[in-house]
Structure 1
Amino acid sequence: MNYEFFIAKRIIGSKAYKSSVSAPIIKIGIVAIAIGMVVMLIAIATGFGLQQKIRDKVVAFNGHVTITNFDSNASDESEIPIQKQQDFYPEFKNIAGVKHIQAVATKFGVVRTATDFEGIVLKGVGLDYDWTYFKEYLIKGRLPDYSGEMNNEVLISEYLANRLQFEVGDSFQTVFKKENIDQMPWLRAFDIVGIYNSGFKELDEKFVISDIRHVQRLNKWSENQIGNFEVFIDDFEQIKIKGIEIYENIPSDLDAVTVEEKYVSIFEWIGVFDKNTYGIIGIMILVAGINMITALLALILERTQMIGILKSLGSNNWSIRKIFLYNATYLIGLGLFWGNLIGLGLLLTQKYFGVIPLNSAVYYVSEVPVYLSLSYVLILNFGTFIMCLLMLLIPSIIITKISPVRAMRFD
């Protein structure tokens, strides 16, 4: 054990230290670090959590990349069919990171009841459809089964069910226009087997999930003709790169559009969270650092005589500075410990009990989402510790200005 660490340990453990003039200032410094850590943990966990939740909801309805016809159709309805038999379907063999691809088709319709009507987009899906996301969003009933003959089972959103007063087990009629508007429209009946709620009103208010064979029949397509392909990738952070790779590996008459390009305004909005989070982290570290600087200065001034004695015994300035930096390290560690304990406790409570709700019409989620990762918790703690310690190197320079002769006066 080096003597600097030994002296620092004795200072920390002494009763006089705990009841000294600098004790309240030191406690404020510890509290500042703890509060700063709590705020930073909450900012990162909720910011990343909200981004991830909103991103997952949009991806659930569109995939990470959508392969469509290269035309000017900007609507949600599939107009010109794509041949299902493609080199890249049912999997991209020459692109790494693509985990799933599914064929879908959409058709505009109007749900008609005895007292009301509502416009919808009937989204047809088949055996290759990945129900992972909708298993999480399902609140009543079950998911449709399209493994056998064509059936009338559909999955409808809670938003539409409430507006049209539907329940699981109800049937409803939907009107679809024909190519020739002078002809009588198509009329199809569907049976509700499940109700979902993604919390994303812009999507919930229009999508009804059905058998893709209904859309194919309404459009007079063959079973090998579909509206578009939805591609899912392993890592969302690689979406731009994978979007370009997919585009380069599909026929020239097809286009690949990432979900970020399709919903630009939404992803620009959630991108603002990153700037806010980094701003909060910077401010909290600065506040904690300033408080620790104040605490260290108070501690140095209170120990002026001890510094004078150590200098007279031959200790150099850096050796004495190390004593106080060891002391500061302990205080920073104490603040980080309590900050992590309180911050992670609050986040785990929210994650598993959802005590803080949100307005889903504004934030697209019904409660504050929490994303916890050991990697960012460790990086945040390490970064805060290093930044605070580096900030303390400057005030510790005051030790070099203390004269042993003046410091050892006891009058």
Structure 2
Amino acid sequence: MNVELFIARRIHFGGKADQGKTRITPPAVRIAVAGIAIGLAVMILTVAIVVGFKQEVRDKVIGFGSHIQITNFDSNSSYETAPIHVSDSLLDMLRQTHGVRHVEAFATKPGLLKTDTDFQGIVLKGIGSDYDWGFFRKHLVEGRPFSVTPGRMTTDVLISRHLADLLRLRCGDSFLAYFVQDDIKARKFRISGIYDTGFSDYDHLFVLADIEQIRTLNDWPSDAVSGLELLVDDYDRLDETAERVDTLLLNRRDNAGNTYFVRSIRELNPIIFNWLDLLDLNVAVILALMMAVSGFTMISGLLIIILERTNMIGILKAVGQPDRSLRRVFLYISSFLIGRGMLWGNVIGLALCWVQWQFRLLTLDPSIYYLDAVPIRLSIWSWLLINVGTLTVSLLMMLAPSYLITKINPARTIRFE
């Protein structure tokens, strides 16, 4: 029989025996349990929101630019690019590269979108029949994606809701776009669909069109593109995959002698990804503060319980109960309180996460945060790690105050009740 556990259960669950006495334990216990519950709920919410925010923003940046881009080394940072020439052997080699999930061609061309009353600067992004529509299908609010057929050029385009509202256009409407080459060239396009990602920096800019439109505007041959976009299997191994692709293309040239330039999405958008990395520091600070608050409330609760049970401790010491055994009794009591607090903390934290995930009650300004609502993303492993970490840290913090038991003198405590 575990004597320490038996005594701990009697103290924790059998406290109603002394109803005639004024007791300080219930308020102290409630405060300690509330501290654990609130701290754990805040930690769950913090991790869920920050992880959700990072993944949502990251997915949107990748949706517009893929994981890895291969362009002409001589291209500048503008959207008016120097082309590379793509062969079937190059595409096959990239598709067979370990870690690469999908390969697609693209081309970009800056221009001016104009209606009878308004105009707006845009970037026409040309895509081919190999384009992965998954991202834009998810954010499509009206119409449908257009079809790209090799050998046949379509005038259908996909524009953002911001551009559509700004220029008062709807699905099925046509508009003129102007492009400056050696002279000004005009093209008429028809809107097949309208998207809204909430990422204002890109929504205000990109119009998706047939890649043949850009080849025609630039007088490029059929194998010329601004670059290739690669999607990878595992984002956590993005740098490793990008380095592998860079090594493959290091000594290769296209049929025009151009050098390939391989960059990951993190290298293409360093400001955004450095900003997202800084959020990890915020999470670490919040978790540390919440664990500290929870731990100190538990310490104060345990000290009060020990002081209240001083007479009982003295009696047990007098009959031969060792200090180590008595410390174990109060550590059991601490674990009961921590367990109760963690139960309520999980209930509160997970319930709030579910409500926000389901109903999106807390909204954001997309022009500032790139999202229209507070995102929630919590994996089972993150949840388990938070709980295990909270339990471990809380129990370790109970070790120091439990040493107060060794300072209690049996003769003095039995004499005064």
Q: Confirm or deny: 8 A CA contact 1:11 1:17 kept in the other structure.
A: no
Measured after TM superposition, the shift of residue 25 of structure 1 is 1.2
Match of 2:233 in 1: 234
Cα distance in 2 between the residues matched to 1:283 and 1:332: 17
Cα distance in 2 between the residues matched to 1:90 and 1:64: 18
Q: Counterpart of 1:321 in structure 2: which amino acid?
A: R
Q: Secondary structure at the match of 2:129?
A: coil
Q: Counterpart of 1:123 in structure 2: which amino acid?
A: K
Match of 2:254 in 1: none
Q: Secondary structure at the match of 1:89?
A: helix
1:368 to 348, 370, 374: 374
Q: Counterpart of 2:162 in structure 1: which amino acid?
A: Y
Cα distance in 1 between the residues matched to 2:272 and 2:169: 30
Match of 1:194 in 2: 193
1:109 to 108, 111, 126: 111
Cα distance in 2 between the residues matched to 1:210 and 1:317: 78
1:34 to 28, 37, 41: 37
Cα distance in 1 between the residues matched to 2:108 and 2:313: 79
Measured after TM superposition, the shift of residue 92 of structure 1 is 2.8
- Give the number of aligned pairs: 406
Q: Counterpart of 2:216 in structure 1: which amino acid?
A: R
Match of 1:205 in 2: 204
Measured after TM superposition, the shift of residue 234 of structure 1 is 2.0
- Superimposed CA distance per residue, residues 198-235 of structure 1 (whole angstroms, 9 cap, x where no aligned partner): 11111111100011111111111122111101111122
1:283 aligns with 2:285: no
TM-score (norm 1): 0.95
Q: Confirm or deny: 8 A CA contact 1:159 1:205 kept in the other structure.
A: yes
Q: Secondary structure at the match of 1:80?
A: coil
Q: CA-atom RMSD, angstroms?
A: 1.5
Query: For structure 1, which runs of at least 5 residues remain unmatched after alignment?
Result: none
Measured after TM superposition, the shift of residue 90 of structure 1 is 4.4
Q: Secondary structure at the match of 1:121?
A: strand
1:131 to 133, 142, 146: 133
Measured after TM superposition, the shift of residue 88 of structure 1 is 4.3
Q: Confirm or deny: 8 A CA contact 1:17 1:23 kept in the other structure.
A: no
Q: Secondary structure at the match of 1:128?
A: coil
- Superimposed CA distance per residue, residues 132-155 of structure 1 (whole angstroms, 9 cap, x where no aligned partner): 111111111111111363211110
Cα distance in 1 between the residues matched to 2:310 and 2:94: 71
1:346 aligns with 2:345: no
Q: Confirm or deny: 8 A CA contact 2:95 2:102 kept in the other structure.
A: no
Measured after TM superposition, the shift of residue 238 of structure 1 is 1.8
Cα distance in 2 between the residues matched to 1:45 and 1:246: 33
Match of 1:51 in 2: 54
Q: Confirm or deny: 8 A CA contact 1:91 1:100 kept in the other structure.
A: no
Query: Which stretch shifts more, 119-128 or 249-258?
Result: 249-258
Q: Confirm or deny: 8 A CA contact 1:107 1:122 kept in the other structure.
A: yes
TM-score (norm 2): 0.94
Change in Cα spacing, 1:69 to 1:369, as seen in structure 2 (3 Å) is same
Measured after TM superposition, the shift of residue 325 of structure 1 is 0.5
Change in Cα spacing, 1:2 to 1:11, as seen in structure 2 (3 Å) is same
1:4-403 correspondence runs (5 A): 4-14=4-14, 15-16=16-17, 20-77=23-80, 79-85=81-87, 87-90=89-92, 92=94, 95-147=97-149, 149-178=152-181, 180=182, 183=183, 185-252=184-251, 253-403=259-409
Cα distance in 2 between the residues matched to 1:88 and 1:11: 74
Measured after TM superposition, the shift of residue 336 of structure 1 is 0.7
Q: Counterpart of 2:51 in structure 1: which amino acid?
A: F
Cα distance in 1 between the residues matched to 2:217 and 2:123: 13
Change in Cα spacing, 1:152 to 1:158, as seen in structure 2 (3 Å) is same
Query: For structure 2, which runs of at least 5 residues remain unmatched after alignment?
Result: 252-258
Q: Confirm or deny: 8 A CA contact 1:51 1:270 kept in the other structure.
A: yes
Q: Confirm or deny: 8 A CA contact 1:109 1:120 kept in the other structure.
A: yes
Q: Confirm or deny: 8 A CA contact 1:309 1:404 kept in the other structure.
A: yes
Query: Which stretch shifts more, 45-54 or 68-77?
Result: 68-77
Q: Counterpart of 2:366 in structure 1: which amino acid?
A: S
Measured after TM superposition, the shift of residue 76 of structure 1 is 2.0
Measured after TM superposition, the shift of residue 8 of structure 1 is 0.7
Q: Which runs of 4+ in 1 moved over 4 A?
A: 16-19
Query: Which stretch shifts more, 389-398 or 211-220?
Result: 211-220
Q: Counterpart of 2:7 in structure 1: which amino acid?
A: I
Cα distance in 2 between the residues matched to 1:154 and 1:327: 67
- Superimposed CA distance per residue, residues 270-306 of structure 1 (whole angstroms, 9 cap, x where no aligned partner): 2221101110000000010000000000000111111
Q: Quick one: percent identity of the two aligned structures?
A: 41
Q: Secondary structure at the match of 1:107?
A: strand
